[in-house]
Structure 1
Amino acid sequence: MHFLLLGATGRVGQRVLAQALQDGHDVTAIVRNVEKVALRSDRLTLLQGDACSAVDLASAMTGVDTVVSCLGTDGGTVLTEATPLLIGAMRASGVSRVVTVGTAGILQSREHPGLLRFEAPDTRRSSTRAAEEHRQAWALLAASGLRWTVVCPTYLPDGEPLGQFRAEREFLPDGGTSISVGDTAAFTYRVAVDGTYVGCRVGLAY
């Protein structure tokens, strides 16, 4: 399988990249600074570029089977800028499968039907800016006609994969409070490989 990976220098993206190469897949990664990627492989193509550039995204789509985006909000509007460009590049290249990493804030609230978790009156978020970015990116994917999945981890501390966690469509597993970077990356990679959870958000927690 040939992946296009966005966010390869981030906490989750680095682990997805390592796992894909370890399993013998080909990976093209768009990064702003190639020196920030420690891994090197004959199966890895590093393209210096910008995920918010339509030209860079289009040039990276050659031969790609699946897109994995581990982009964060980067304190700004990266997601809402990059997502429509990514959708356009995928459509133009005939690539239909995309897996992205979002946030548990955009899952459905159990206590407040009709609201997302970050919209609920009992949210503990001091700011909803990042969640709103993720919500808009998810809405764009949901309307795109692509085979999309948004992986939505709750609180995300650094840590190795334990392999024992819960995943639930559209909701955060009841009582879940954290999920490690390692397990989030492992789940994201697995979903990209096996093509499951198409057309939904997936809450992750221990």
Structure 2
Amino acid sequence: MNLLLLGATGRVGRFILEYALADGHTVTALVRSPDKLEEYKLRYGTQLQIVEGDATNAENVAQALEGGGTAVISALNTDGTTTLSVNMRLLIRLMQERSVSRLITVGTAGILQSRTEPGLYRYESSEPRRRSTRAAEEHRRVYELLRDSALDWTIVCPTWLPDGARTGIYRVEKDLLPEGGTQITTADTADFTYRQLSSTDFLHTRVGIAY
């Protein structure tokens, strides 16, 4: 499979990159700092294609998409700006132009449906402890863009993300955070996200993930 990966140098994206390369996939990574992937390039050679650029630049995204033409995974961070929503608008347009339909992205548990107040997103309800909603609002914009698109999308929505090893053992639930879930490691979030490449179980939906 030819995969385009965004956010390959991030806490979750780096694990996705490792899993995909280890399984023999060809990965195109769009990154601002190619030197951060030097060790992977040395180990995997032409199996890893690196495009230097910005995820909010249409030409850069189009160039990267030419190499990763089967599916797209985005593990981009919000970074306190509108990077996610700007990038998603570009991705939706460019993917549709190139007839690439499969998109998996990492969101946040804040945009899942509230279990206690079903008419609200979790970040709007009394469930989460975090009071800042900036990141959740940006992820919400991404969700609503995808919801209204023709892509075959899945949004993986982890709760608190500490560093930690991959166990492959966790709970997932469509549109909701698994009851009582409080954390999920970056490696296991990446594991489930990566597994969606070969799964159609959660097309056109948000998926809550936690231990």
Deviation at 1:179, TM superposition (A): 0.4
**Match in the other structure for 1:175:** 180
Asked if 1:85 is matched to 2:90, the reply is yes
Unaligned stretches of 5+ in structure 2?
A: none
Deviation at 1:184, TM superposition (A): 0.3
Q: 1:125 to 1:45 in 2, by over 3 A?
A: same
Q: Secondary structure at the match of 1:68?
A: strand
Deviation at 1:124, TM superposition (A): 1.8
CA distance in 2, matches of 1:122, 1:91: 36
Letter in 2 for 1:161: R
Instruction: State which of 44, 47, 60 in structure 2 corresponds to 1:43.
Output: 47
**Match in the other structure for 1:74:** 79
Task: Describe the superposition over 1:88-116 as per-residue Cα deviations: whole angstroms up to 9, x where unpaired.
Answer: 11011110000000000000001001100
Q: Secondary structure at the match of 2:55?
A: coil
Aligned runs of 1:46-57 on 2, under 5 Å? 46-57=50-61
Deviation at 1:121, TM superposition (A): 3.4
CA distance in 2, matches of 1:46, 1:196: 30
Q: Would you identify which runs of 4 or more consecutive aligned residues in structure 1 move more than 4 Å?
A: none
Asked if 1:192 is matched to 2:197, the reply is yes
User: Structure 2 length as normaliser, TM-score?
Assistant: 0.95
Deviation at 1:194, TM superposition (A): 2.8
Aligned runs of 1:2-17 on 2, under 5 Å? 2-17=2-17
**Match in the other structure for 1:119:** 124
**Match in the other structure for 1:105:** 110
Unaligned stretches of 5+ in structure 1?
A: none
**Match in the other structure for 1:31:** 31
Deviation at 1:204, TM superposition (A): 0.2
**Match in the other structure for 1:204:** 209
**Sequence identity of aligned pairs in percent?**
52
User: Structure 1 length as normaliser, TM-score?
Assistant: 0.97
Contact 2:116/2:127 (CA < 8 Å) preserved in 1? Answer: no
CA distance in 1, matches of 2:96, 2:132: 34
